[in-house]
Homo-oligomer: A and B are copies of this chain.
Amino acid sequence: MATQPPTPGPDAPVSSGETGGPAFSPLYQQIKALITRSLQSGEWKPGEAIPSEVDLAARYRVSQGTVRKAIDELAAENLLVRRQGKGTFVATHAEEKIQYRFLRLTPDDGVTGPIERKVIECRRQRAPSEVARALDLKAGDAAVQIRRLLYFRARPVVLDDIWLHGTLFKGLTAERLTDYRGPMYALFEQEFGVRMIRAEEKLRAVGADAPAAELLQVAPGYPLLSVERLSYTYGDKPVEFRRGLYNTASHFYRNELQ
């Protein structure tokens, strides 16, 4: 309707240059930020549909095309999933075709059977300095430590050491981890309201130390792929740090460069 700058409603974006603040930002970027805020606040939950583009355009008082461009970027970042004819949905680690979205390990023969998990340990602990630094905690702050094995066809292939932000994951126990069916990240979404959005990994080759060698049933010094992962939720807030040791005898870590 309005080709002139719209009167800002309760949910309307800021007019450019109004606040003399940070800098100019295109309308669709402002809309993107508003949608992200609603995702973060839990207004639309994982797996649910968000309002239609037309509705959002009305709500934010912009054109449908501007909303589309905002959603395009959010879909490209895997925060939203578009389904023609059905709507736009909040991405989720649960109910995904591909379980384990972040796990890049692939069997050499391509046969991807079900993955078994065994939780070895899960306890609250004070964060070591390295973990504290990664998770933006003060050294000694509370953290949750998990140690677990992943089995492919009854063989131990991955040993994970996981450190979680202590306050966000208060109340997580080995029992809840064991009982839960489905990926750990789905549990985090559903039980703790923490969604993993993206992650950074650092890969190295290392020799197995004694405990890892025993758990993965290899000789000490056996070459293992070390995968350090820092996972982020909304607002680029780091909430999980883990180190995985992968036995790559019959699996590899796949990556796409472009």
Which DSSP category, helix, strand, loop or mixed, fits chain A's interface?
A: strand
Task: Indicate which residue in B76, B201, B223 contacts A223 across the interface (CB closer than 8 Å).
Answer: B223
Q: Are B204 and A225 in contact (CB under 8 A)?
A: yes
Across the interface, name the chain B residue whose C-beta is closest to A245: B205
A221-B221, A223-B223, A225-B225 known; A257-B198 Cβ under 8 A:
yes
Task: Indicate which residue in B204, B207, B254 contacts A201 across the interface (CB closer than 8 Å).
Answer: B254
Q: Are A256 and B202 in contact (CB under 8 A)?
A: no
**Chain B residue contacts of A76, Cβ below 8 A:** 76
Least CB distance from A237 to B in Å reads 15
A205 and B257 CA atoms in complex are apart in Å by 19
Q: Are B197 and A258 in contact (CB under 8 A)?
A: yes
A102-B257, A258-B77 known; A248-B201 Cβ under 8 A:
no
A223-B224, A224-B223 known; A255-B77 Cβ under 8 A:
no
Across the interface, name the chain B residue whose C-beta is closest to A247: B205
Least CB distance from A177 to B in Å reads 21
Q: How many copies of this chain are found per oligomer?
A: 2
Q: Does A206 contact B (CB under 8 A)?
A: yes
Q: Does A41 contact B (CB under 8 A)?
A: no
**Chain B residue contacts of A203, Cβ below 8 A:** 203, 225, 248, 252-255
Encoded as 1 (CB less than 8 Å from any B CB) or 0, chain A from 238 to 258 comes to: 000000001010001111111
Q: Does A199 contact B (CB under 8 A)?
A: yes
A207 and B76 CA atoms in complex are apart in Å by 38
How extensive is the interface on chain A, given as a class?
A: 20 to 34
Least CB distance from A1 to B in Å reads 22
**Chain B residue contacts of A204, Cβ below 8 A:** 225, 248, 252-253
Q: Are A205 and B206 in contact (CB under 8 A)?
A: yes
Task: Indicate which residue in B78, B228, B256 contacts A198 across the interface (CB closer than 8 Å).
Answer: B256
Across the interface, name the chain B residue whose C-beta is closest to A229: B257
**Chain B residue contacts of A104, Cβ below 8 A:** 255, 257
A226 and B224 CA atoms in complex are apart in Å by 11
**Chain B residue contacts of A223, Cβ below 8 A:** 205-207, 223-224
**Chain B residue contacts of A248, Cβ below 8 A:** 203-206
A248-B204, A252-B202 known; A78-B258 Cβ under 8 A:
yes
21 interchain pairs, CB-CB under 8 A: A78-B258, A104-B257, A197-B258, A198-B257, A198-B258, A199-B257, A200-B256, A200-B257, A201-B256, A203-B225, A204-B248, A204-B252, A204-B253, A205-B205, A205-B206, A205-B225, A205-B248, A223-B224, A225-B225, A228-B252, A255-B255
